């Protein structure tokens, strides 16, 4: 059941990526990210109440809570928002495998340099495979755009810059969370991190645009999909991942969860009309191989 939960979590994230790609050309990244996390917040808070985690949060020092909120600012506010915003100009098949693989390698390297974790051949070999895979994916062009009337594709160098920015934000948030979460469990962390992420993104976007972002909220036609992204992608996907870690262990859960880019390819072909090239397929294989090497051997 643990392995099945990890694969189901990967499918949830793949479906969420496809849903965000469909909506990203009509709404800003801040709108989609903020709405997704605000919708997921009641479910995570309800889980906290059901599991009796309120007392755990009350006993946590302020430094731990601030570290969790800062992690939400960086990972959700910068990483996820940039991911969604760049989807129309990068393409889901180029964004998903490379951003995921770079995040794993950057987080592992950061753990070695900043947290004193073990370094070995797995990090070097896996990192090299991810770099090669990223190069192949970035060089490959998706034959069909999700929205032909939307913005044009970014070139190789701007695409690399976006991928590094997204993965770097995710890695920084991961390392900050690993170093500062204290003894809090995953559910307690999520009950702080997800609502904080939604509130921060919504507040900053509203202030930065002087309220203009409120006029670009999802319409009645798109609202069911946005709710599904929050409930299924963020809430249920996170809960399945937490269950998988508890049942089968963190290493196996991460390995199985990192297969989501493979699920993205057929979903993006069916729902978005994207047609992969050989370079994208080969690059995706390199990225996944590098991810599995880093996670499994580490």
Query: Domain-by-domain residue ranges, the chain?
Result: 2-297
Q: Is the pLDDT of residue 114 over 60?
A: yes
Work out the pLDDT band at 145, boundaries 50, 70, 90: very low
Q: Is the pLDDT of residue 287 over 50?
A: yes
Under 8 Å between Cβ of 235 and 43: yes
pLDDT at 164: 93
Q: What is the dihedral of CA 200, 97, 231, 234, to 10 degrees?
A: -40
How many of the other CB atoms lie within 10 Å of CB of 293?
22
20 Ramachandran zone, left/alpha/beta (phi>0; psi -120 to 50):
alpha
Most confident of 28-42, 112-126, 209-223: 28-42
Under 8 Å between Cβ of 267 and 106: no
Lowest average pLDDT, out of 34-38, 50-54, 146-150, 157-161, goes to: 146-150
Under 8 Å between Cβ of 98 and 163: yes
Taking CA atoms, 147 is separated from 1, 274, 280, in Å, by: 38, 10, 19
Work out the pLDDT band at 118, boundaries 50, 70, 90: low
253-268 in b/e form (b: 16+ CB < 10 A) is bbbbbbbbbebbbebb
Rounded average pLDDT over 74-83: 88
Q: Is the pLDDT of residue 87 over 90?
A: no
Q: Is the pLDDT of residue 146 over 50?
A: no
pLDDT at 14: 85
Token couple for 176? 């900050």
DSSP 212: G
pLDDT at 222: 87
128's CB contacts (< 8 A; 6+ apart) are 290
Under 8 Å between Cβ of 204 and 30: yes
Rounded average pLDDT over 7-14: 85
Spatial CA neighbour of 189 closest among 289, 28, 45, 76 = 45
Average pLDDT, the chain: 80
- Higher pLDDT, residue 66 or 206: 66
């Amino acid at each position: 059941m643990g392995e099945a939960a990890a694969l189901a979590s990967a499918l949830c994230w793949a479906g969420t990526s496809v849903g965000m790609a469909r909506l990203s050309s009509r709404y800003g990244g801040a709108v989609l990210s903020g709405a997704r996390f605000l919708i997921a917040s009641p479910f995570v808070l309800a889980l906290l109440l059901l599991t009796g985690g309120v007392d755990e949060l009350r006993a946590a020092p302020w430094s731990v809570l601030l570290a969790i909120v800062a992690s939400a600012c960086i990972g959700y506010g910068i990483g996820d928002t940039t991911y969604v915003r760049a989807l129309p100009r990068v393409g889901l098949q180029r964004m998903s495998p490379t951003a995921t693989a770079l995040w794993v390698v950057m987080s592992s390297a950061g753990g070695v340099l900043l947290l004193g974790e073990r370094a070995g051949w797995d990090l070097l070999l896996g990192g090299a495979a991810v770099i090669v895979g990223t190069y192949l994916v970035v060089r490959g062009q998706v034959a069909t755009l999700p929205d032909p009337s939307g913005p044009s594709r970014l070139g190789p160098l701007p695409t690399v810059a976006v991928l590094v920015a997204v993965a770097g934000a995710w890695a920084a948030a991961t390392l900050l969370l690993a170093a500062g979460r204290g003894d809090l469990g995953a559910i307690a962390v999520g009950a702080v991190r997800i609502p904080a992420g939604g509130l921060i993104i919504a507040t900053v976007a509203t202030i930065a645009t002087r309220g203009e972002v409120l006029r670009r909220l999802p319409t009645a036609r798109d609202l069911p999909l946005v709710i599904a992204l929050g409930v299924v992608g963020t809430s249920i996907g996170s809960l399945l991942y937490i269950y998988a870690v508890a049942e089968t262990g963190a290493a196996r859960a991460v390995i199985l969860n990192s297969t989501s880019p493979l699920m993205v390819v057929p979903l993006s072909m069916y729902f978005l009309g994207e047609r992969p090239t050989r370079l994208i397929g080969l690059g995706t294989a390199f990225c996944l191989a590098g991810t599995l090497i880093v996670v499994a051997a580490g």
